[in-house]
Each structure stands twice: as structure tokens, then as C-alpha cells.
Structure 1
Amino acid sequence: MRAVFSIAAILGGVGLIACTSDVETGRDSYVELCSGCHGPAGRGNGPAAASLEVPPADLTAIAARNGGVFPKTEIMAKIDGYAKGQEHHGAMPAFWPLLEGRTVLVETGDGIVTPTPEPLVELTAYLESIQR
């Protein structure tokens, strides 16, 4: 019974961990990794945008393009580079080497709890915070 209680206590904090990710730390990661192409406000107008064949997405309109829902899992997969270590297609580089480290448990909306690098969760939380 004690083991069940411990597991329940751990899983009970999952939502708290995912919901309290440091948006400011995510903003710092955004400035370092994303603003060169997506711009300081996330509108797709960074200094490198003009040199890209495909214009960077307006990251402030992700939810609007998805029926008002911010697709957290899909965004994390896009940032992460889909499949670690495999060839990444498109202009956006895979940032997974920069997003490794401590993991937090994230409920992905389908009842599955997944250990996810904390910097990736924080960056995604920041992107969610800038939706208009």
C-alpha cells in the first residue's frame, strides 16, 4: 500500500510540475534559440527570416491556427526535432541537444505521462504564453 501511495503522490504532482514551468526561463531559451528567425515577439520577422526559403511561422498564432487550442505535444515535437538524432527536414534546426537535462513529467493530453526535458517544457510554456 505504501508504494501505491508514493506513486499516487508522485503522479499527483505531475500537473503541478507541468503547469508551473518557468515561463521566464522559457523566454530566455526563446531569445537564444528562436528569435533569430521568429523575431523578438515571435511574429516570424527575425533578422535571419529574409534569408530563408520558407518564412518562419508566426509563433503568436499557433493556437489560432489550431482552432483556439495550443497543441503542446506537437509543438514540443517540432522544437525537439521529431526524432532525436535522425535527419531533420525543413529550415528549422533540431534543437534537441540544447534541450537535454533534467526531466519533468508531462501529461500529454491522452492520459500518458511522459518524462520531458525541463527546458523544452519551459520553452513550450513561453510559446503558449505569447498566443494572441
Structure 2
Amino acid sequence: MSFRFMPLVVSLTAFLGATASSFAADDVAAGRAEFQNSCMSCHGDTGKGNGPLAKYLTIKPADLTLLSKNNNGEYPFLRVFQTIDGRAVVKTHGEGPMPFWGDRYTVQSGAAGAEPYKSYTSEPFVRARILELAYFIQTLQE
């Protein structure tokens, strides 16, 4: 490459880097909103399991920042997704399962009369919200 194009390459690289970082910040906004709405009261604003309701629970909420660390350094994305939507059972509140949001999202999609994941309108809506939340929780990893 010619040296006369070097300033252009450097400028373009800096611009793309700044643009990519602004997109990255926006990428988790929907997941952050889901977390604040559905998870923060138990898991806390940083996901460490110290939310305002945590002291009232029989079993302390999980520290969501340690999911990767406790899984040999790999974020357990599918397990997180399944836990949120209710397919995986997590013990909290004694022997009961952690609240899950798949049914709530189905109701909010306007498909309350349909079985979850049977309606063509509810499935993409439910999965998108859960995916956003699972991706946001991934950003909390230490």
C-alpha cells in the first residue's frame, strides 16, 4: 500500500471504530430495559444477586456475572435463554421455580388465547425479547 493513502486508512479505521462502538452500546439497550423490568429487583442492577427483593427470598438469586466463570469460561447462552423462558427449572423462593417470562411475553404480544409458541405472532415476539435479555446478561460477565 502506498504511504500517501495512509492518512485516509487511519481516518477510516478511527471512524469505523467509533461507529462500531456506538452501535455496540445501542445493541444491548432493549436487553437492558428487559433486565431492569424483569430481573433487577432480585438480581440487582449489576446482576450480582443483590436486588432489593433478594433479602426476602429463601434462596439467594444467582450472581449473573459469574455464569461464564462457573461454566469453564464459556457463557451458557442456551441455558440462560431456557431459564428465562421457563424450560429450565431454577430453584428460588424455596422449592418453586424462578419466575419466567415466556408466558408474560406471549400475553403481551396479543396472543393470550393461543398456546405459547403456537401462534405465528407470539413466537417471534417472545423469542426476540428473551434473546435481547440473554445477550444483555452476557455483557455482565466478569
Structure 2 length as normaliser, TM-score? Answer: 0.62
SS in 1 for 2:84: helix
The CA RMSD measured in Å over matched residues stands at 2.3
After superposition, give the CA deviation of every residue in 1:14-37 in whole Å (9 maximum; x if it has no partner). xxxxxx994110000000000000
In the alignment, what sits opposite 2:124? 103
Using the alignment, how far apart are the partners of 2:72 and 2:96 within structure 1? 24
Give the counterpart letter for 2:38 in structure 1: L
Change (3 A) 1:96 1:117: same
Letter of the 1:68 counterpart: G
Greater relative contact order (CA < 8 Å, ≥ 6 in sequence): 1
Match for residue 122 of structure 1?
Answer: 132
Relative distance call for 1:124 and 1:41 in structure 2 (3 A) is same
Q: Where does structure 1 lack aligned partners over 5 or more consecutive residues?
A: 1-19, 84-88, 105-115
1:89-112 CA deviation, whole Å, 9 max, x = no partner?
Answer: 6351121123344628xxxxxxxx
Separation in structure 2 between the aligned mates of residue 57 and residue 90 of structure 1, nearest angstrom: 15
CA distance in 1: counterparts of 2:79 and 2:49, whole angstroms: 19
More helix by share: 2
Please say which structure displays the higher CA radius of gyration.
2
Aligned residues: 97
How far apart, in 2, do the equivalents of 1:98 and 1:117 lie? Answer: 12
TM-score by length of 1: 0.66
In structure 2, distance between residues paired with 1:22 and 1:127: 12
The residue number in structure 2 matching 1:63 is 68
Q: Which has the higher strand share?
A: 1
**Unmatched segments (≥5 aa) in structure 2:** 1-23, 89-94, 107-121
Distance in 2, matches of 1:51 and 1:121, equals: 28
Give the corresponding residue for 1:76: 81
Percent of aligned positions with the same letter in both sequences? Answer: 34
Quick one: distance in 2 between partners of 1:49 and 1:118? 27
Which residue is equivalent to 1:4? none
- Does the 8 A contact of 1:52 with 1:91 survive in 2? no
2:96 equivalent in structure 1: 90
Moved over 4 A (4+): none
